[in-house]
Structure 1
């Protein structure tokens, strides 16, 4: 009896897997995810109207506090004004004291020669004012928090909790919770497992093929199908723009970084060589599977800190025109989908063509940002599996080259500016690693030199 049930279930199960792999191989969609996303947008709009209606009805029975009126807090009750606070500039600064990128900071050291300087406490007020402004409006810390939404997306993990504002919204939220956790999540875990298993099996087979002309196209196809299956497990809907600029030759593909899923998103449309530190667990299995048939660059923890070793490996890879472009996220950490922070100059020193790519996620369907200080990788994947979907736009930008006399830092900043402008992101000078470590000593010395020069001039 049990064997008969298994046989009955096995046929549709294998058919589903085969159909899924076939769609991934030909890169086609039957439109289910697009229809699903459009349905979600209608539900979100209905929820927004219902919430606004319920809020207006509640306001009729509530009198505004005189204290709140004096303080101007009534502005916070307006949803539109509330949203403008996130990522907006609240303080107008006359002069912003920011660290300037330097190729060699040793030449900028403070002179050891003692000079007589007339010191007046009033000359410190600009720095005190800048410090207070930085505390009130922190350009760094706010970039590592969840992006605030303009309307509630029926997820209780977001910054608004309207699930009990009316019985209709409560019903929609309950139904959505059941669908996400009992239907979508098990199905997504299954599809993700199939994607990883497909990578392990196909790459092992491709690695055994002795003929290079045959092994390369099969490895490319296996690479793309693997990540198309993984992106399907997240109900990802990706729109690619400017495909004429898609990376085709050896070089560096440089993109802003919001989530580890950036790799899967970009790899659905193009084959890349990946670079990174060796991992264990789930990521380790995927890394070893991909490395069997494709030229990826994995470092041990100690090697990754050796800049000379990394640079040599990169130069060797780029020098071979048959190798795919290397996918790199120069920020070195995940930013919350609102900004682009300082690019590390390493990949811009090696030489070769740079293919800029801008990625922008739609936060209404799920917060793609990975706050690694708050969530582990498994916790983050669990949150993605139980979100509505991953919807994003990807822009390929014209290839860029380092100009004569241009420093690696200036080149990195130029590429960063192009990506930020295309993605509608804020271009920041700060190093994203500030969320983990203290500011560099050189930055403090630059400020000290600037302050000393001001005292001298006075």
Structure 2
């Protein structure tokens, strides 16, 4: 009995030692930015499994609809025995899931099902002939308004279009998938549609929650500990040049380890356009992980809202070693201070580029929304970067109004993987007579085009607040001008 217990203890010790050595080997490879290709093989295998699941679901759907069609045909023949001409049976091959998801994709990917006028709100067609034929005789007649009920019809039409095809709030919901990715984050219950899919789903559930998740939590913990200790040591280095080099080393290693905890597969394109020292790196924003994704390849100074909790720990650790800019969104006075600090930062050629997400909030990886003009007023070189996530392996979008940071990280660590493409784009500078808003829109359109995203004019802050009063007043003013015949 004692011998068996001894053998069991030795085997347990060997197993734990082997597992720990394997984990530290993964962490070492991650910190060096190396890979032996296991993650890419893992992603390729997942694609084949998803394709098998799609074919299985389609087969079951075809059988269900064919059976339903035959049953309806037999019932109609029984109810109408005298009126039963030979009818050619038509089997519907497309299930309700494909229809709903294709419509959802049309909304989310910008394939509009409504033919709209390009203006934000349609202006009514007003008959201007009367105002052209006669001149106003007095001041009262000049500013008199002639209102007909038909003047409102274009606005009613535009409102109905906005209800049917809402291109704003749909950007703050999870992206629709064409095929099921074997995750339970759907109300379709595909995992019980056939016994084959049930077995695959159970195996996948075991792998994600029992194998991958504990390993990912451990690797993430090591990354956070490395971050806190590493930047604390870097912060006490007296010589600036040596401190900058050490900070770049620790910065990349930290975020490589954190990305490896999410099984991230990142493909960088056009690396000749990688941001240089000083200037601004501007990217679209889907998730806080955007920072980690980009920081695996280059060191940045970060700017953003001051957070508490897990993000707050990382922010305070980063601030010990390099110049980062954290501010309170609610404090209006901070904006002037932030602009001043931005100018001071870009004026020093030794500082790393500032990583900025001008949208100010997370969008669901289908579009790019309005860029704030603040960072485009400072001056300096802009390095655009486009990021596009593959939602088949895990939805990287963070709905901050619905999930806390820890809930979001839990969802990420129980997903299959984080797979994304990053495109570095040629640097851009503001033209001589170009306004900051026009420059921001020009950068936004370049990022949207490269990432295959929809370019929208709406402010992303509509996620949290109602439309500004000025927007309503502007539309009222335009309507008043049309009524006047101007």
Tell me the TM-score normalised to structure 2 length: 0.85
2:306 maps to 1:278? yes
Query: What is the rounded CA distance, in whole Å, between the counterparts of 1:76 and 1:326 in structure 2?
Result: 49
Residue 313 of structure 2 aligns to a residue in which SS? Answer: helix
Larger deviation, residues 408-417 vs 365-374: 365-374
2:58 maps to 1:35? no
Shift of 1:5: 8.4
Taking structure 1 as reference, are residues 47 and 302 closer, same or farther at Cα in structure 2, changes over 3 Å only?
closer
Aligned 8 A contact 1:277 1:304 in 2: no
2:391 maps to 1:326? no
- Structure 2 residue ranges without an equivalent (≥5): 1-5, 74-91, 123-139
Return the match for 1:91 from 109, 114, 131. Answer: 114
- Structure 1 residue ranges without an equivalent (≥5): 67-73, 100-112
* Matches for 1:46-65 after TM superposition, within 5 Å: 46-63=52-69
Listed one character per residue, the Cα deviations across residues 92-140 of structure 1 (whole Å, up to 9, x for unaligned) are: 12453359xxxxxxxxxxxxx9921111111111111111111111110
* Matches for 1:363-382 after TM superposition, within 5 Å: 363-382=391-410
Return the match for 1:19 from 3, 25, 36. Answer: 25
Query: What is the rounded CA distance, in whole Å, between the counterparts of 2:215 and 2:171 in structure 1?
Result: 33
Larger deviation, residues 305-314 vs 374-383: 305-314
Shift of 1:17: 5.1
Tell me which residue corresponds to 1:410.
438
Return the match for 1:124 from 136, 152, 157. Answer: 152
Aligned 8 A contact 1:96 1:130 in 2: no
Shift of 1:168: 0.3
* Matches for 1:268-417 after TM superposition, within 5 Å: 268-300=296-328, 303=331, 306-417=334-445
Taking structure 1 as reference, are residues 13 and 176 closer, same or farther at Cα in structure 2, changes over 3 Å only?
closer
Residue 384 of structure 2 aligns to a residue in which SS? Answer: strand
Return the match for 1:227 from 255, 280, 300. Answer: 255
Residue 356 of structure 1 aligns to a residue in which SS? Answer: strand
Query: What is the rounded CA distance, in whole Å, between the counterparts of 1:383 and 1:285 in structure 2?
Result: 20
Larger deviation, residues 32-41 vs 87-96: 87-96
Q: CA RMSD in A?
A: 2.4
Q: Which has the larger radius of gyration?
A: 2
Aligned 8 A contact 2:267 2:420 in 1: yes
Aligned 8 A contact 1:219 1:293 in 2: yes
Shift of 1:241: 0.3
2:237 maps to 1:209? yes
Taking structure 1 as reference, are residues 166 and 224 closer, same or farther at Cα in structure 2, changes over 3 Å only?
same
Query: What is the rounded CA distance, in whole Å, between the counterparts of 1:305 and 1:369 in structure 2?
Result: 31
Query: What is the rounded CA distance, in whole Å, between the counterparts of 2:38 and 2:11 in structure 1?
Result: 29
Query: What is the rounded CA distance, in whole Å, between the counterparts of 1:199 and 1:241 in structure 2?
Result: 27
Tell me which residue corresponds to 2:95.
77
Query: What is the rounded CA distance, in whole Å, between the counterparts of 1:279 and 1:78 in structure 2?
Result: 42
Aligned 8 A contact 2:61 2:93 in 1: no
Query: What is the rounded CA distance, in whole Å, between the counterparts of 1:301 and 1:115 in structure 2?
Result: 43
Shift of 1:80: 5.2
Query: What is the rounded CA distance, in whole Å, between the counterparts of 1:345 and 1:20 in structure 2?
Result: 42
Tell me the TM-score normalised to structure 1 length: 0.90
Residue 441 of structure 2 aligns to a residue in which SS? Answer: helix
Aligned 8 A contact 1:277 1:301 in 2: yes
2:200 maps to 1:194? no
Taking structure 1 as reference, are residues 429 and 386 closer, same or farther at Cα in structure 2, changes over 3 Å only?
same
Taking structure 1 as reference, are residues 199 and 390 closer, same or farther at Cα in structure 2, changes over 3 Å only?
same
Tell me which residue corresponds to 1:146.
174
Number of positions where the alignment pairs a residue of Structure 1 with one of Structure 2: 438
Shift of 1:283: 1.1
Taking structure 1 as reference, are residues 95 and 253 closer, same or farther at Cα in structure 2, changes over 3 Å only?
closer
Residue 69 of structure 2 aligns to a residue in which SS? Answer: coil
Listed one character per residue, the Cα deviations across residues 342-362 of structure 1 (whole Å, up to 9, x for unaligned) are: 000010001000010000000
Tell me which residue corresponds to 1:244.
272
Query: What is the rounded CA distance, in whole Å, between the counterparts of 1:247 and 1:154 in structure 2?
Result: 38
